[in-house]
Amino acid sequence: MATPERPTVIKVLLIGPSSSGKTSLLKRYVDDVFEPDDTTTTIGVDFREKKLTINKKLYRLLLHDTAGQERFRTLTSSYYRGAHGILLVYDVSNRDSFLSMAGWFAEAERFAPEGVIKILVGNKTDRTAQRAVKASEGEELAQKYGAIHFTETSAKTRDHAKEPFQKLIEAVISTPGALDANRPVAGSSAVDLAKEDPNNAGCAC
């Protein structure tokens, strides 16, 4: 039986350079599929939803997949607002993609709410022969930029593919204040547009 309780919303962003496998990881996580020769780059932003029950509590996970390609970026300051967690994804078989991560951390730093939980992901571990980034380098980068967790994944083989999502959710749920801290601030002063003042039908001049 579904509880009448409203699910708690957790907003997660996936960011990182184009072709690092953000969309693939997301599909793996949400639908458990992988499309190998999919050359489809994300344009704009994709939006997926997943409902979770954790400890009998209902959560609505809003996953925003973004475009890594500069020309299709729709990330804007407002887009980051209210985010609880950010997955920063690079490709372990592509050195440039790893090197670009400082820029992605900077962007997250700039736009995301304070205290947002960041996780660094090195994807495509199945491409062992082409590996261009050591795990220790990823570890170091995560530490440097305050990501709470680093993991290497393969969306293709499923290797650890769900881990970053799960760690993120776990952290958001278990960190005191993380869920409401990033909610729109200053609730008291904000005007509730959905609630018209019943006592007042305009000015009683």
Ligand X SMILES: Nc1nc2c(ncn2[C@@H]2O[C@H](COP(=O)(O)OP(=O)(O)OP(=O)(O)O)[C@@H](O)[C@H]2O)c(=O)[nH]1
- Cβ 13 to ligand X shortest distance, Å: 12
User: Under DSSP, is residue 71 helix (H, G, I), strand (E, B) or coil?
Assistant: helix
Residue 105 to residue 98: CA distance in whole angstroms? 11
Residue 97 to residue 117: CA distance in whole angstroms? 21
CB nearer to ligand X: pick between 152 and 182: 152
Q: Does 155 bind ligand X (CB under 6 A)?
A: yes
CB nearer to ligand FAD: pick between 136 and 200: 200
Task: For residue 145, give every residue at least 6 positions away whose Cβ sits within 8 Å of its Cβ, in sequence order, or none.
Answer: 101, 102, 105, 109, 118, 120
- Is 162 within 8 Å of 28 (Cβ atoms)? yes
Q: How many residues bind ligand FAD (CB under 6 A)?
A: 3
Q: Which window, 17-25, 71-79, 133-141, 197-205, contacts Mg ion (CB under 5 A)? A: 17-25
Residue 158 to residue 126: CA distance in whole angstroms? 9
Q: Does 204 bind ligand FAD (CB under 6 A)?
A: yes
Residue 16 to residue 144: CA distance in whole angstroms? 17
Instruction: Answer with the entry of other proteins, Mg ion, ligand X, none that 154 interacts with (C-beta below 5 to 8 A by kind).
Output: ligand X
Query: What token pair was written down for 103?
Result: 């820029």
CB nearer to ligand X: pick between 89 and 141: 89
Question: Dihedral of CA 152/153/154/159: which sign?
Answer: positive
Q: How many residues bind Mg ion (CB under 5 A)?
A: 3
CB nearer to ligand X: pick between 89 and 169: 89
The CB-nearest residue to ligand X is: 68
- Cβ 12 to ligand X shortest distance, Å: 15
Choice from 22, 64, 84, 160 touching ligand X (CB under 6 A):
22
Instruction: Answer with the entry of Mg ion, ligand FAD, other proteins, none that 51 interacts with (C-beta below 5 to 8 A by kind).
Output: other proteins
Instruction: Answer with the entry of other proteins, Mg ion, ligand X, none that 100 interacts with (C-beta below 5 to 8 A by kind).
Output: none
User: Under DSSP, is residue 119 helix (H, G, I), strand (E, B) or coil?
Assistant: strand
